[in-house]
């Protein structure tokens, strides 16, 4: 049976998402990726609701078994960090509302899992994600590439947790 993971790179203006799949012990491959974009002209609460509704549609369409979400690490702008934090809350609530298992990873953990180096630069990450998922062209937008990286990290961690007899982080 195929394993399918949704990766999410949270934001309130643009939230990256990527779905990967592995069947029969083979390599991971990309099913689909993109961004949920909301308009800055809309009230913030409406943007959060739109994020919730569009994420539900993606989950219902691609039917992942689990979701890997990038954790908010730091932000120089407190106002932006708070808004991204609120968007993350909507994302986490949507995932739990639909009964999916959830893993959260810091950017450092994602970089470590994908490249083997926790301080890898964005360009290195994109190249490695493309190589691992056999995507020939540059993955755009960047938020979608970050979401695919989160999904790959979820896949690596699932395998590790199974071997160790652990369980996934259920939030």
Q: What whole-number distance in Å separates Cα of residue 90 and Cα of residue 157? A: 24
Task: Enter the DSSP assignment of 14.
Answer: E
- The catalytic residue among 3, 21, 104, 143 is 143
Whether 70 is a known active-site residue: answer yes
SS3 165: coil
Cβ count within 10 A of residue 62: 16
- The catalytic residue among 3, 70, 104, 146 is 70
Whether 27 is a known active-site residue: answer no
SS3 33: strand
Whether 21 is a known active-site residue: answer no
- The catalytic residue among 9, 21, 104, 146 is 9
Burial of 22 (0-12, 13-18, 19+ CB in 10 A): middle
Residues acting as catalytic residues: 9, 70, 143
């Amino acid at each position: 049976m195929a394993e399918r993971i949704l990766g999410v790179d949270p934001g309130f203006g643009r939230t990256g998402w990527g779905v990967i799949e592995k069947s029969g012990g083979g390599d991971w491959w990309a099913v689909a990726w993109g961004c949920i974009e909301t308009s800055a002209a809309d009230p913030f609460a409406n943007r959060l609701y739109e994020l919730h509704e569009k994420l539900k549609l993606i989950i219902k369409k691609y039917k992942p078994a689990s979701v890997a979400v990038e954790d908010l690490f730091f932000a120089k702008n407190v106002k932006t960090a708070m808004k991204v934090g609120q968007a993350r809350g909507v994302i986490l609530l949507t995932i739990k509302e639909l009964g999916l298992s959830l893993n959260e990873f810091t950017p450092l953990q994602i970089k470590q899992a994908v490249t083997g180096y926790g301080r890898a630069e964005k360009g290195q990450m994109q190249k490695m994600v493309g190589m691992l998922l056999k995507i020939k062209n540059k993955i755009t937008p960047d938020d979608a590439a970050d979401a695919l990286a989160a999904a790959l990290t979820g896949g690596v961690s699932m395998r590790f947790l199974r071997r160790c007899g652990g369980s996934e982080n259920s939030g």
